[in-house]
Amino acid sequence: MNDTLVTLVGNAATAVEHRQTAAGMAVARFRLAATSRRWDKARERWTDGETSFYTVRAWRALADNVAASVAVGEPLLVQGRLRLREGEQPPERGGARWFAAEVDALAIGHDLSRGTAAFRRSPRARTEQVPVQQAPGGRVSGSAVVPETGAGESAEAGAAGSSGDGDGDVVEGAGVQGGHRLNSPLPGIAHGS
């Protein structure tokens, strides 16, 4: 592919518009303002140059996360595919030609050189067979909805009332319900299928 990949540094200039397409896919859209800065030798200080505006679009999980995380004025880094569009206004609006720079985002994050942020992993549920030792009442095993965990995390970590034996098996008792392992990415909250 001959896409033009860019990395932009700027501020969110508009609120995030979040919606679902007719096919049910999440899409988010906002404008990013990127202002160049240069050192002014005569004044011996940094000065702002011209500001460029980009329309940023995000899709699927990225769209959901952007809508929940980004507010107007926040400093952002955006990486994505640059598309330049041009057109002409109708004659009744003057007939002037226009140009637009749009970015289909692959990744968006806060600019940590200008502040701090707290990352929270989005839980993505997946179904898997979970081996379970026989619990009182004859329940043996079943499918469980298990949030994916990051590298180095135990699937049992933080599960309310569950106890693991260190190798991924759930031990009889609390944390097993109807043959399902109850897991959560947050301590004290249990999810089951």
Reply yes or no on whether the pLDDT at 2 is more than 90: no
Can you give the pLDDT at residue 44? 92
The residue to which tokens 């940023």 are assigned: 56
State the average pLDDT over residues 161-188. 39
How much of the chain is in helix, strand and coil states, percent to nearest 5? 5, 50, 45
Q: Does 80 lie in the same domain as 34?
A: yes
Beta strands 180-181 and 125-130 are unpaired
State the average pLDDT over residues 8-13. 97
Q: Does 67 lie in the same domain as 10?
A: yes
Distances (CA, A) of 101 to 8, 10, 84, 127, 152: 12, 14, 5, 41, 40
Question: What DSSP letter does each residue of 154-188 carry, written as one string?
Answer: -TTTT-TT--B-SSSPBPSSTTEETTEE-B-SSTT
Domain count of the chain?
Answer: 2
Reply yes or no on whether the pLDDT at 167 is more than 60: no
pTM summary value: 0.60
Can you give the pLDDT at residue 13? 97
For the chain, give the percent of residues with pLDDT over 90: 54
Count each helix (H run) and each strand (E run) in the chain, helices first. Answer: 1, 10
Asked if residues 186 and 158 have their Cβ atoms less than 8 Å apart, the reply is yes
**Is 189 inside a domain boundary?**
yes
Q: Tell me, what CATH number does 59's domain have?
A: 2.40.50.140
3-state SS, residue 193: coil
| Residue range(s) defining the domain that contains residue 49 | 4-110
Q: Does 61 lie in the same domain as 104?
A: yes
Q: Does 152 lie in the same domain as 75?
A: no
Can you give the pLDDT at residue 156? 37
Of the three residues 65, 81, 110, the one that is the final residue of a domain is 110
Of 146, 152, 173, 147, the residue nearest 162 (C-alpha): 173
Can you give the pLDDT at residue 155? 38
Q: Does 106 lie in the same domain as 13?
A: yes
Q: Does 156 lie in the same domain as 129?
A: yes
Note the pLDDT tens digit of each residue in 40-54.
999 999 999 999 999
